[in-house]
């Protein structure tokens, strides 16, 4: 999802400096194209990754939801970028 989000932001001729900046850019530049639901899914996946990396908190259910969200996010990214 991270790299797909970067591709979307780059397509708007912007570049992010952090994961949080990427989220802000999605909210401000791409909400019409990808929808608030997918932006929320990106944020949720970002939070799950941070919890797993820094708090060592993770679950199979969380991983399953993140994969589902990533598939939908990638599909929408391909539609928006026409690839």
pLDDT in tens, 51-69: 988 888 888 998 999 999 9
* Dist. CA 76–CA 15, nearest whole Å: 20
pLDDT in tens, 1-40: 999 999 999 999 999 999 999 999 999 999 999 999 999 9
Spell out the domain ranges in the chain. 2-81
Phi, psi torsion values for 23, nearest 5 degrees? -60, -45
* Helix axis angle, 2-11 to 19-29, nearest 10°: 50
Task: Look up the pTM and report it.
Answer: 0.90
């Amino acid at each position: 999802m991270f790299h797909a989000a970067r591709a979307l932001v780059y397509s708007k001729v912007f570049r992010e400096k952090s994961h949080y900046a990427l989220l802000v850019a999605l909210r401000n530049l791409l909400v019409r194209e990808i929808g608030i639901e997918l932006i929320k899914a990106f944020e949720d996946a970002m939070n799950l990754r941070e919890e797993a990396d820094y708090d060592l908190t993770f679950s199979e259910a969380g991983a399953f939801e993140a994969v589902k969200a990533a598939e939908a996010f990638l599909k929408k990214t391909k539609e928006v970028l026409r690839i």
